[in-house]
Amino acid sequence: MSNRAAYLQAAEELRDNPGQWAAYESRGHCVVLAGPGSGKTKTLTTKMARLLAEDVAEPRGVACITYNNECARELEARLSSLGVEPGGRVFVGTVHSFSLTQVILPYAKVAGLGLPDDFRVATNAEALAALDDAAQVAMGAVPNLQTIRSQMGSYRRSILNRDSDLWRDTNPRLARLAEAYEAELRVRGLIDFDDMPLLAVRALRENPWLQTALLAKYPVLVVDEYQDLGAALHRMVMGLCFSAGMRLFAVGDVDQSIYGFIGAQPQMLQRLAEREDVEIIRLQLNYRSGHRIVAASGAVLGVDRGYAAVDGAPQGEIFFHSLGGSYEVQARRLMTDLLPAAMAREPGVRYDEIAVLYPAAWIGNAVAEAARHAGVPFIRTDGNALYPRSSRLMQWLELSAQWCCGGWRTGSPRFSQLVSEGRRLFGDAIRAELDAAAFHRALVACLWEMRRPDMVLYDWLQRFKRTVLDQHAQLSPNLRDELNILGSFLERVSPDADYAEMTVAEFAGEHTFDRLMLSTLHSAKGREFRFVFLFGIDHGRLPRNGARPDEINESRRLFYVGISRARTEVHIAYTHGNSSIFVDELQARLN
């Protein structure tokens, strides 16, 4: 099937949904307000394929910014099925990646950012060391470096204009610390993660010609999960789209904004949607959840958004479970009683269609231990997982493992995807075509000889590291944190360690093998399951004790996100006599 035929066929599947079709047909600035399960990713990727085929002439292209690397990987996979490959005319990545690769690296010197020619991205350890030295100068001794780092990060992300009274006067202590910290980084030839969008915004603001240069390359800017991306991205959009002339296609949902602790501000999407020069389209049909689950989601918000399940969707069920005892006791009840009973109601349901979601990773420890004791296979994607799910290197290794576990035969993932993602990962080390050809040969030779799902993972990783990673990683200094993550994981799967028996098949990913998903509510965003168990939904946990009004509102949205992950059953478990206010409200509204 040709590229054009692929996206036209996908477009026909949008025609029966008025909102999706209107988004596909939009011509100017467009904001799509998309509820849970409304097919927003399908709409966005089909629209991008059309833009590249019909609206944007080569060699110009389209840039797509999304929340995290996992979101970017999903978008790339969807685009690939429509014949659109990242690279060349198409950028798909995070706001940090866009800032670094499209603004800072090519233009830092001429844009007057004051960075040394050989600057690099600080590792976590280097950033902490710079902050420690800066804090000694700006504040004296700091009792908790991680706490002050979090506070400073929020301050840097929320107030972008360093020349304003707002920056100087809101919290002079944090302003001084941030300036001292950034100066210390520069002395060391470093920038940090938060620097990327901040420097990009500054470069674009101070150099109007740079906005024109980006417009020449990307006449269309697509933004996914707009509500999650913060002040820096919003400032870029305002400049690039409403001053320089890029066309905007943005998708988001203010009700799913749950990352306020890292700078997300849902009101920015709301303000964007209120502009007279922006077309607003609402996706209100829910293709995921049963009727009662959609109704319960609306009851959680306390606002009627007009969402409805599609005709023919199951009714869906909401169950409330008041459990006694500690979380360890409750988790055992979950694994030995509630979970088996739910699975018995729908014969044939698999573990990988079920998720247990909780407010904090430490609560997941009890669930994981109970699952181990009950012999239930599981995978964790929270902060206590074997490795961070956001790691680009670990994601690429997972894909490579999936290829070795049958993907080489089925084409999922395609080997070309491994090559393209590897080239982006090791960008500094693979530039010339000769280098790319050598990388391709090394990768295929290594993986072809390791197509053994039962191979001990430690041996597989060590061989992969020796024959592929070591050669290229040493030329990619910005990957040092990623390599540290891999090193820590290798220790966990090494002989005599706690996961020494893990195989390549077990590592290959939650989409390949039958495992129960254990996750925080935050980490579950963007996913869907047949059954969802919300565990530990207690007073003092959701929302936390002493939460401000804005934090309570965000906790409500987090509860909403958890419920709306489910297709047919939602189970809400809480400690007897200590239920969350959201549980009490939902029970009252459903009765």
In single-letter form, the type of residue at position 153 comes to: G
Q: Is the pLDDT of residue 302 over 90?
A: no
Q: What is the pLDDT of residues 82-108, one digit of tens each?
A: 888 766 789 998 999 999 999 999 999
Burial 434-462 (b: 16+ CB within 10 A, else e): eeeeebbebbeebbeebeebebbbbebbe
CA atoms within 13 A on the CB side of 373: 14
- DSSP secondary structure letters along 377-445: -EEE-STTSSS-TT-HHHHHHHHHHHIIIIIHHH-SS-HHHHHHHHHHHTTTT--SHHHHHHHHHHHHH
For 331, residues 6+ apart whose C-beta sits below 8 A from its C-beta are 366, 367, 369, 370, 371, 535
Q: Is the pLDDT of residue 583 over 90?
A: yes
- For residue 282, the surrounding DSSP H or E stretch is strand 279-283
- For residue 202, the surrounding DSSP H or E stretch is helix 195-206
Q: How far apart are CA 87 and CA 306, in angstroms?
A: 39
Which range scores top for mean pLDDT: 197-201, 380-384, 429-433? 197-201
**Where do runs of H (alpha helix) occur along 467-580?**
470-473, 480-493, 504-507, 549-563
Length of the chain measured in residues: 591
Q: Quick one: average pLDDT of 71-77? A: 84
The alpha-carbon radius of gyration of the chain (Å, integer) is 24
Q: What is the pLDDT of residues 258-276, one digit of tens each?
A: 988 877 888 999 999 999 9
Q: What is the pLDDT of residues 410-428, one digit of tens each?
A: 888 888 888 888 877 776 5
Reduce the DSSP state of residue 343 to 3 states and report it: helix
CA atoms within 13 A on the CB side of 51: 29
Three-state SS letters, 97-108: HHHHHHHHHHHC
Q: What is the pLDDT of residues 346-366, one digit of tens each?
A: 989 999 999 999 999 999 999
Q: How far is CA 520 from the centre of its chain?
A: 13
Strand partners for 378: 516
**Where do runs of H (alpha helix) occur along 207-333?**
208-217, 230-239, 266-273, 291-301, 327-333
In single-letter form, the type of residue at position 541 comes to: R
**Where do runs of H (alpha helix) occur along 1-159?**
3-12, 18-25, 40-50, 69-81, 95-98, 105-107, 124-138, 145-158
Lowest-pLDDT choice from 118-122, 328-332, 387-391, 402-406: 387-391
Lowest-pLDDT choice from 265-269, 275-279, 282-286: 265-269
Could you give the percent of the chain with pLDDT greater than 70? Answer: 96
Q: What is the pLDDT of residues 154-178, one digit of tens each?
A: 999 988 888 899 999 999 999 999 9
- For residue 533, the surrounding DSSP H or E stretch is strand 529-534
State the pLDDT at residue 511. Answer: 44
The closest alpha carbon to 422, from 453, 405, 447, belongs to: 447
Q: Are strands 220-223 and 190-191 parallel, antiparallel or unpaired?
A: unpaired
For 40, residues 6+ apart whose C-beta sits below 8 A from its C-beta are 32, 34, 224, 251, 283
Q: Quick one: pLDDT band at residue 475, thresholds 50, 70, 90?
A: low
Token pair listed for 327: 């979380």
State the pLDDT at residue 46. Answer: 95
Which range scores top for mean pLDDT: 106-120, 281-295, 475-489? 281-295
Q: What is the pLDDT of residues 176-224, one digit of tens each?
A: 999 999 999 999 999 999 999 999 999 999 999 999 999 999 999 999 9
DSSP 46: H
Whether residue 347 has a cis bond before it, omega within 30° of 0: no
- DSSP secondary structure letters along 153-168: HHHHHH---TTSHHHH
- For residue 172, the surrounding DSSP H or E stretch is helix 172-187
pTM: 0.88
Tell me: is residue 37 an annotated ligand-binding position.
yes
State the pLDDT at residue 1. Answer: 46
Burial class of residue 287, CB neighbours in 10 A (0-12, 13-18, 19+)? middle
Contact 158, 166 (CB under 8 A): no
Torsion on CA atoms 80, 81, 83, 89, rounded to nearest 10: -30
Contact 317, 568 (CB under 8 A): yes
Burial class of residue 201, CB neighbours in 10 A (0-12, 13-18, 19+)? buried
Could you give the percent of the chain with pLDDT greater than 90? Answer: 65
State the pLDDT at residue 421. Answer: 81
Token pair listed for 566: 């489910």
Average pLDDT, the chain: 90
Which range scores top for mean pLDDT: 226-240, 393-407, 470-484, 563-577? 563-577
Tell me: is residue 39 an annotated ligand-binding position.
yes
Tell me: is residue 36 an annotated ligand-binding position.
yes
| First-to-final CA distance of the chain | 52
DSSP 469: I
Q: What is the pLDDT of residues 509-555, one digit of tens each?
A: 644 467 899 999 999 988 999 999 999 999 999 999 999 999 999 99
State the pLDDT at residue 3. Answer: 66
Tell me: is residue 40 an annotated ligand-binding position.
yes
Token pair listed for 336: 């030995």
State the pLDDT at residue 430. Answer: 55
Q: How far apart are CA 517 and CA 496, in angstroms?
A: 26
Q: What is the pLDDT of residues 31-61, one digit of tens each?
A: 999 999 999 999 999 999 999 999 999 999 9
Counting runs of H as helices and runs of E as strands, what totals does the chain give? 28, 16
